[in-house]
């Protein structure tokens, strides 16, 4: 039995396994790998004389004229079966001559299913967090997950960590390393350049109201994380303030008191704001009103012109840092209320809206009426960027869109300083609920 099998293999190799018919075997093998049937005709353009003679010996007839050579696969299958050289037909002969065949279509389908399973938690995440749908569309559109992970198993682990990190945001002032350790089991998983950091930072920008790709500088990354309450460390995150009376009970309170006495602005780190061992800084404001501006020039001008008469004033510094948010939330916990002013542009409205999600504030000349009043007295620049709503005044966005002019905070400094001198708006002033 074994000798007969060996003889059949040798006959098959003589009939079909030669160099001149290698193209035919290769075509058949590719069809099998792609899940296609071995039927119909395969054609070899510009066939050589030797290739044509080999096909004629296989078929037992002339193989046509011209430059191309066409061979019916059904006929080859019939010949192999009838001759006994390959009783199971052409497909079995190809495997015997070239080895086992991988079903490429099945492999591709399995890979697609594995990638879909790896991505599935992200779709569940966006169902819980619809604000991340734009980020997920960017992720799928760029193929970033596949590029960073390389294979479905790695992607599945990365997605699991990513979902854990994003589910923890926004936070109340969490260190980046602690977020990484909690979400990914690796305190450095969110370090710049790591795959998880790349994916998470894009989502963080979207949560902050920006595009998935943004300012890639160290300051830009720090600002993006700060917008969702995450700080890179307790010392690099700072907040600029003026006129907070402070107190004698804590080191931070004494720092504020000394700065207040000297009528100087004070820079606090997040460490000083949050305190150590649960110690809460005595800020000295109590149930008073705290003014909040977007740009440092307002605070610096108030220090120069009003000195110790400046009411409590905190600078958001553009996109609020973790220290800014921490100080405002601490003030709110101690009973303070807030009045906010920022730039009249889309970035300013976006910053104000994000801040309003963390602490409640009333507009400080920061509504449609104030915008129109500013346009009557100052010359602003062209308004650019993506429009955003103003939840505190639905009329503000249409006014900005209609006029197309931005008004930076610096342009209305005299009015803001007059308000600070007069303590406007009064703490008891009420703002209608949204």
Is 431 a member of any domain? no
Q: Decide if 115 is inside a domain.
A: yes
pLDDT digit string, tens, across residues 47-69: 888 999 999 889 988 876 778 89
Same domain, 177 and 302: no
Give domain status of residue 357, yes or no. Answer: yes
Domain edge (last residue) among 102, 132, 162: 102
Residues 115, 225 share a domain: yes
- Predicted confidence at residue 295, as pLDDT, reads 96
Q: Which residues have C-beta within 8 Å of that of residue 390, sequence separation ≥ 6?
A: 349, 352, 353, 367, 396, 397
Is the residue at 175 inside a domain? yes
Residue 4 scores a pLDDT above 60: no
Calpha distance 280→289 (Å, rounded): 19
Q: Is residue 352 part of a domain?
A: yes
**pLDDT above 50 for 390:** yes
pLDDT, average across residues 255-279:
87
More confident residue, 186 or 227: 186
- Better pLDDT: 106 or 24: 24
Tally of domains in the chain: 3
Element (H, E) at 340: strand 337-340
| Region 380-407 average pLDDT | 95
CA distances from 212 to 115, 127, 179, 216 (A): 22, 18, 20, 11
Q: How far apart are the first and last CA of the chain?
A: 90
Residue 428, both tokens: 């008891």
Non-local CB neighbours of 338 within 8 Å, separated by 6+ positions? 289, 290, 291, 292, 328, 331, 332, 359, 360, 361, 362
Residue 411: the pLDDT is 96
87 and 117 part of one domain:
no
Q: Could you report the per-residue pLDDT of 294-339, keeping only the tens digit for each?
A: 999 999 999 999 999 999 999 999 888 888 988 999 999 999 999 9
Q: How confident is the model at residue 220 (pLDDT cuts 50, 70, 90)?
A: confident
Residue 194 and residue 120 share a domain: yes
Question: Same domain for 291 and 394?
Answer: yes
* Position 428 confidence tier, pLDDT thresholds 50, 70, 90: very low
Extended strands (E) in 5-148: 41-44, 69-72
Q: Are residues 254 and 391 in the same domain?
A: yes
Q: For residue 337, what are the domain limits?
A: 238-422
Average pLDDT for 30-38: 87
CA–CA gap between residue 195 and residue 359 (Å, rounded): 33
Do 28 and 147 reside in the same domain of the chain? Answer: no
In DSSP notation, 65-102 reads: SSS-EEEEHHHHHHHHHHHSSSTT-HHHHHHHHH----
In a domain, 434, yes or no: no
d(C-alpha 298, C-alpha 316), whole Å: 11
The reported pLDDT for the residue numbered 5 is 45
* Domain end among 33, 67, 102: 102
Q: What distance in Å separates the CA atoms of residue 231 and residue 224, rounded to the nearest whole number?
A: 10
Q: What percent of the chain has pLDDT over 90?
A: 56
Give the confidence band of 2 by pLDDT, cuts at 50, 70, 90: very low
Average pLDDT over residues 23-33: 91
Domain-located, residue 334? yes
pLDDT at 277: 56
338 and 226 share one domain? no
Mean pLDDT over 337-361 rounds to 94
Averaged pLDDT, 79-92? 90
**In terms of domains, do 207 and 245 share one?**
no
Query: From the CB of residue 415, how many other CB atoms can be counted at a distance below 10 Å?
Result: 17
Q: State yes or no: pLDDT of 214 exceeds 80.
A: no
pLDDT band at 46 (very low <50, low <70, confident <90, very high): confident
CA distance 429 to 308: 24
Q: Are residues 128 and 206 in the same domain?
A: yes
**Where does 208-292 have alpha helices with state H?**
218-227, 251-261, 270-274
Q: Quick one: 180 and 84 in the same domain?
A: no
Three-state DSSP at 231 gives: strand
C-alpha 327/C-alpha 272 separation (Å) is 10
Do both 171 and 256 map to the same domain? no
DSSP code for 41 = E
* Angle at which helices 152-167 and 176-184 cross, to 10°: 130
Asked whether the predicted pLDDT for residue 92 surpasses 70, the reply is: yes
User: Of 102, 133, 167, which residue is a domain's last?
Assistant: 102
Q: CATH number for the domain including 258?
A: 3.40.1360.10
234: confidence class by pLDDT, cuts 50, 70, 90:
low
For the segment 268-287, what is each residue's pLDDT rounded down to a tens digit?
Answer: 998 888 776 557 789 999 99
Tokens of 327: 């100080």
Residue 266 scores a pLDDT above 90: yes
pTM of the predicted model as reported, rounded to 2 decimal places: 0.57
Query: What does the alpha-carbon distance between residue 257 and residue 279 come to, in Å, rounded to a whole number?
Result: 17
- The values of phi and psi at residue 269, to 5°, are -85, 165
108: phi then psi, degrees, rounded to nearest 5: -65, -40
pLDDT band at 193 (very low <50, low <70, confident <90, very high): confident
Distance separating alpha carbons of residues 143 and 226, to the nearest angstrom: 27
Among 196, 193, 170, which Cα is nearest to 181's? Answer: 196
179 within domain boundaries: yes
């Amino acid at each position: 039995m074994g000798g007969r099998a060996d003889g059949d293999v040798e006959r098959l190799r003589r009939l079909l396994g030669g160099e001149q018919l290698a193209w035919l075997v290769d075509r058949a093998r590719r069809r099998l790998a792609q899940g296609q049937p071995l039927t119909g005709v395969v054609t070899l353009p510009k066939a050589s004389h030797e290739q044509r003679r080999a096909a004629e010996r296989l078929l037992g007839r002339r193989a046509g004229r011209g430059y191309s050579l066409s061979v019916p696969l059904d006929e080859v299958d019939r010949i192999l079966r009838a001759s006994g050289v390959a009783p199971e037909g052409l497909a079995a002969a190809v495997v015997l001559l070239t080895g086992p065949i991988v079903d490429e279509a099945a492999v591709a389908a399995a890979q697609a299913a594995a990638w879909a399973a790896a991505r599935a938690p992200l779709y569940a995440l966006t169902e819980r967090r619809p604000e991340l749908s734009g980020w997920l569309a960017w992720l799928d559109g760029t193929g970033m997950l596949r590029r960073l992970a390389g294979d479905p198993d790695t992607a599945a682990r990365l997605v699991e960590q990513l979902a854990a990190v994003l589910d923890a945001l926004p936070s109340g002032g969490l260190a980046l390393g602690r977020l990484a350790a909690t979400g990914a089991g690796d305190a450095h998983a969110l370090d710049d350049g790591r795959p998880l950091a790349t994916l998470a930072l894009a989502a963080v920008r979207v949560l902050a109201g920006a595009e998935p790709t943004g300012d890639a500088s160290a300051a830009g990354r720090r600002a993006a994380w700060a917008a969702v309450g995450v700080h890179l460390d307790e010392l690099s995150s700072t907040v600029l303030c003026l006129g907070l009376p402070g107190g004698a009970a804590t080191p931070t309170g004494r720092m504020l008191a000394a700065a207040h006495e000297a009528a100087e602005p004070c820079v606090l780190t997040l460490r000083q704001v949050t305190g150590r061992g649960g110690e809460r800084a005595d800020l000295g404001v109590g149930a008073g009103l705290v003014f909040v501006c977007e740009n440092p020039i307002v605070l610096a001008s108030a220090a120069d012109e009003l000195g110790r008469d400046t009411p409590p004033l905190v600078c958001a510094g553009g996109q609020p840092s973790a220290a800014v948010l921490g100080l405002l939330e601490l003030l709110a916990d101690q009973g303070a209320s807030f009045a906010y002013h920022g730039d009249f542009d889309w970035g300013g409205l976006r910053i104000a809206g994000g801040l309003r999600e963390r602490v409640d504030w009333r507009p400080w000349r920061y509504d449609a009426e104030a915008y129109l009043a500013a346009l009557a007295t100052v010359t602003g620049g062209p308004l650019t960027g993506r429009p955003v709503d103003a939840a505190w005044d639905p009329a503000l966005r249409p006014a900005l869109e209609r006029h197309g002019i931005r008004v930076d905070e610096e342009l209305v400094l005299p009015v803001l300083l007059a308000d600070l001198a007069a303590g406007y708006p009064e703490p008891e002033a009420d703002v209608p609920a949204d």
